Amino acid sequence: MLFTSISFLYYFLPVVIIAYFAVPKKAKNFVLLIASIIFYFYGEPRYIFLMLAEILVAYVGARLIDKYKSKSLLICIISIHIGLLCIFKYTDFLIENVNNIFGTNVSLLNIALPIGISFYTFQILSYVIDVYKGNVQVQKNFFSLATYVSLFPQLIAGPIVRYKTIESELSNRKHSFENCSYGIQRFTIGLAKKVLIANMLGELCTYFTSAGEKSVAFYWIFAISYALQVYFDFSAYSDMAIGLGRIFGFHFLENFNYPYMSKSITEFWRRWHISLSSWFKDYVYIPLGGNRKGLKIQIRNILIVWLLTGIWHGASWNFVIWGLLFGVVLILEKMFLKKYLEKLPNCIQRIYVLFIVMISFIIFNADNMKTAFTNIAGLFWSNGVPFINSYTIYYLKSYFVILVIAIIGATPIPKNIVLMVKDNRNLNKVINIIEPIFIIVLLIIVTAYLVDNSYNPFLYFRF
């Protein structure tokens, strides 16, 4: 079930909210658990039992780990969850490569990828590892752990919510009008970002892919549009997840912090998909030794982390290369590049980041590396196409406004303007009146768009 579907917005969500606030405190987690199971069953009925089985393994495993403090048991539980993830996500990728290398003809299994398995697997892993380390108390209530893992606001596409972030809120969270108001506002803004910006940019990228006549300018428009689409698509989902969580009393951590304002790739990954990058840092990079054992070990650790980051995103060589590209750039920055970048004007530093990220997302988006290289070469007039043509001018005119809105929206400018207005006591009173009206109007516009438009994918659902 999509957050951006009429069935979710006007049937599922209102019923869940009413039921949630109608029952006593002790039953609220049960309502969320049942709602989350229905939510997942609606989109992935075959694999609901897989998720519940993994939760059961994590529950029993964590109880045993807490009792016996056994590292071998921890490794066993981790292996089960990673093994299941690999079976469903990477089996066919492995078979394809074995066939290509050895000339064999092993049939692909064509296993369907369970939605959200990469996200809920990492949440389970963080829980059992933190129990072993003593960072969290083991959860003795199975239904509470199941609620944490399956919580529908962040189940499908993150952010990756660690157990320790909401440990206390699972049993004791506060509900207030302010929380609900903030949650509705945050959810609606995320909904608008997805439907009115990300989807429109997605349409432009689709037109580029299918266009018979391309140009250098069109290659650049595509590259910029796709980078913006990925940001608005995924940050919008995070906004909606954070907003829904707040309605139900949970405080999920921020997942994006204006990453396109970064002045280095190192900074970019502190601002982009924060829950994933911090997960790999805490559960892979630091346990491997981090930067504590010399430069060679640090370089090895960075490459391992970014190889795994690429593979986590998908079973394809373009994801592997995408991850390793960032790994190599991060190593270069740590070795010498960052100190030279810091001497350059801020605008040049940001252009450097945007260019690297734009190229990386061309690789990220491509079905294969041949397509990626073609699209990258097209940026530099290497495909024998004109600089601009009538098709490019047509699509640029058609999507110029949305591109400008997206570029401005990817910066803190809109947020800073709102905060500046709110700092003025007189204007703040006006804002308090206008804000709820604006949210209602925005919801009406989004609804009209959803009724009239069928293009509505979430990019991170495939991970």
- The two three-digit tokens of residue 456, written as one number: 């509505």
Q: In terms of C-beta distances under 8 Å and separation of at least 24 residues, what long-range contacts does 401-404 make, across chains too?
A: 402/197, 402/200, 402/201, 402/204, 403/201, 403/221, 403/224, 403/225, 403/228
Alpha-carbon distance of 276 to 146, in angstroms, equals 21
- The two three-digit tokens of residue 322, written as one number: 């995408």
Q: What letter would DSSP give residue 108?
A: P
| Cis-peptide, bond into residue 24, ω within 30° of zero | no
Alpha-carbon distance of 163 to 149, in angstroms, equals 9
- The two three-digit tokens of residue 282, written as one number: 């805490």
Alpha-carbon distance of 40 to 48, in angstroms, equals 7
Cα 434 → chain centroid: 31
pLDDT of residue 241: 96
Alpha-carbon distance of 309 to 321, in angstroms, equals 10
Are the C-beta atoms of residues 314 and 463 closer than 8 Å to each other? yes
Q: Mind telling me the catalytic residues?
A: 313
Q: What are phi and psi of 162, to 5 degrees?
A: -75, 150
Alpha-carbon distance of 103 to 107, in angstroms, equals 12
Alpha-carbon distance of 246 to 238, in angstroms, equals 12
pLDDT digits (tens, 9 = 90+) for 182-204: 999 999 999 999 999 999 999 99
Query: Is 9 a residue whose pLDDT tops 70?
Result: yes
Query: Is 249 a residue whose pLDDT tops 90?
Result: yes
* Sequence spans of domains, the chain: 6-173, 179-263+342-462
Alpha-carbon distance of 49 to 123, in angstroms, equals 17
Alpha-carbon distance of 250 to 271, in angstroms, equals 22
Confidence of residue 346 (pLDDT cuts 50, 70, 90): very high
pLDDT digits (tens, 9 = 90+) for 25-74: 999 999 999 999 999 998 888 899 999 999 999 999 999 999 999 999 99
Question: How many of the other CB atoms lie within 10 Å of CB of 133?
Answer: 9
Query: Mean pLDDT in the chain?
Result: 93
CA angle, 366 as apex, 365 and 370 as ends, to 5°?
155
pLDDT of residue 455: 55
